[in-house]
Amino acid sequence: MRGPAARSGRVQVMTYNAMRYGEDPERAELVHRVIREARATASAAGDALVVAVQELIAGDPAAGVRSGRGCRRWWPWSGSRSKAVRAGWRLQTLAEATGLRCEYERNRPAVAVGSQRYHPGLMWSDELSPAGGFAAVSGRALWHAYLQVDLDVGAVGPVAHASYHARSNGLRQRADEAEVVLKQVFRPPHQPTLVGGDWNGVSADRAGAHLRVCDGWAVAPEYDRDPYHVRHGERCRSVDWHREFVFQCRTWTNGDGTLGWEADRSAGRILRDGGLVDAAAALEAPWAATVGHWDGDDVCGLRRLDIVRTTTDVVSALVSCEVIDSDLTRRASDHLPFVVTYAPAAIAAGSRGAADG
């Protein structure tokens, strides 16, 4: 299968937590500008663009709208409309405002409806087209939700692109949900896959190749050092315990009775060992935070929670990555967008047959 590929033969994949998109019309317009600028940048380079977005706001019908300001503009229906319809309309609104597409079939927006108010969605530029595959996981299986769409990107076959939002609390549940994501990604017939998400935890990937081992031991350093012990850029500064760390850290009692803790990387290890590679770590890109710039984020400091993960067959096709850090992106959301560029033609040959067989 070959579709209308981008002029450059490359695709940019952006993951973006849009911070309660739809709750505040003024900030929503900032989000529109962020994505429009990303689209213009990709177009200028001749690249196609895929956007994995998180935190599309749509609550249960009985809950109504929390924010009264601008609700007539942002809630065009009565409370009887389902959360799924509201979430789909939210994604369509975002796609129309940014010049992207979001329907994998006619009148079916690529959104997954979770149990909470925040929902993930997927959008893509005109150079790409849906290739028939759509899957979503939500309900009791996940705190939020996961979805993936097969897109024709001009490669030998479809490439799956996904959006995921991990839970912000529950260390064990977050790890369990990482297994759910892996199960869906590698469910036959498996396609080369890129997952953009807010993973809400510290990555466990090693710098460089997706896994380097020597006599059974990984020898490359972890790409993310522990932000709950040493602040980025302040190697000699230790971090005092804060109760907010319980949502992100494994704890124990030392022999002298003091509290010990470290970043919980359980979910990250499951994803890494299960074959979903952290693109920034694989590329050995300069480390850059995606959260910590927002007012009130100083407790946990600068961290990298927004990551694009790929199946191992896509690693050879990775070209570059960057965090979009600007005055606009800092004002638009408490998460900064992260963009990975890949070349579909460089996806490892034979990977589909190996995965399917």
Q: Which sequence spans correspond to the domains of the chain?
A: 11-210+265-356
pTM comes to 0.89
Q: ∠ CA 121-17-272 to the nearest 5 degrees?
A: 85
The pLDDT of residue 217 is 54
Q: In whole numbers, what is the pLDDT of the chain averaged over residues?
A: 87
Predicted confidence band at 65 (pLDDT cuts at 50, 70, 90)?
very low
Cβ contacts of 357 within 8 Å, gap of 6 or more: none
How large a percentage of the chain has pLDDT more than 90? 70
The pLDDT of residue 97 is 97
pLDDT tens digits, one per residue of 133-168: 999 998 888 999 999 999 999 888 999 999 999 999
**Do the Cβ atoms of 73 and 99 come closer than 8 Å?**
no
Flag the least confident range among 211-215, 241-245, 330-334: 211-215
The pLDDT of residue 297 is 72
The pLDDT of residue 138 is 87
**Do the Cβ atoms of 290 and 324 come closer than 8 Å?**
no
Flag the least confident range among 184-193, 298-307, 326-335, 348-357: 348-357
Average pLDDT over residues 169-177: 94
Closest alpha carbon to 319 in 308, 329, 303: 308
**CA 355, CA 161: separation in Å to the nearest integer?**
17
pLDDT tens digits, one per residue of 251-266: 999 999 989 899 999 9
Predicted confidence band at 219 (pLDDT cuts at 50, 70, 90)?
low
**Do the Cβ atoms of 163 and 146 come closer than 8 Å?**
yes
Partners of residue 16 on adjacent β-strands = 53
**CA 339, CA 308: separation in Å to the nearest integer?**
8
- Spell 197-206 as b/e; 16+ CB within 10 A means b: bbbbbbbbbb
pLDDT tens digits, one per residue of 78-130: 444 688 899 999 999 999 999 999 999 999 999 999 888 999 999 999 999 99
The pLDDT of residue 164 is 98
Q: Is 11-210+265-356 in CATH node 3.60.10.10?
A: yes
The pLDDT of residue 69 is 36
- Give the CA count within 13 Å in the CB-facing half-sphere of 231: 15
* Maximum average pLDDT range among 21-25, 32-36, 168-172, 344-348: 32-36
